[in-house]
Structure 1
Amino acid sequence: MHVTAGGDQDRALARQARLVAVVIAVTMLVWVAAQALGGRMGLPARYAFLVDFAALAAFVWALVVTFRLWRARRNNRG
């Protein structure tokens, strides 16, 4: 079976999409766990803000990569 360059690119885009999904899922789990543990341990609010900003950074990264994936797939069709 002969693999075309388009097939390789589709696989690469699918791999990036899976990575985005994993980053979103792990970020959400870590964020929820950190919020719960921080509240139970009585950590200062600055640590909660640190976790919040790290989660926001991960979500922004995921949004940017998702947008780039969407544009790449759209450009491949046309």
Structure 2
Amino acid sequence: MADPNSKQAQNARKGRVAAIVIAATMVLWMAAQALGGQLGLPTRFVFLFDFAALAALLWALVVSYQIWRDRRED
């Protein structure tokens, strides 16, 4: 079994977290869009949800880039 603190295990953990963040972000964003339309929320709140989703996806992109860079070094 691989060492749990190895670089490969750390990258796998980062990849799982990034995948969960991407999936959860999209589900929550779609739910927020649907609820915002039904509740008649002002557009500023809709943009707030959009920017929160963009921030989460940007974070996942940065983590994915870090994983890719670490794998290239090996």
Counterparts of 1:37 and 1:13 in 2: how far apart (Å)? 36
Residue type of the alignment partner of 2:25: T
- Aligned-residue RMSD, C-alpha: 1.7
Q: 3-state DSSP class of the match of 2:41?
A: coil
1:57 to 55, 67, 72: 55
Find the structure with the greater CA-based Rg.
Answer: 1
Q: How many residues align?
A: 74
Deviations 1:28-68 (A, max 9, x none): 00000000000000000000000000000001001111001
TM-score by length of 2: 0.93
Tell me the percent identity.
54
Residue type of the alignment partner of 1:69: I
Query: Aligned residue for 1:74?
Result: 72
Gaps of at least 5 residues in structure 2 are none
Gaps of at least 5 residues in structure 1 are none
Regions of 4+ moved over 6 Å: none
Query: Aligned residue for 2:23?
Result: 25
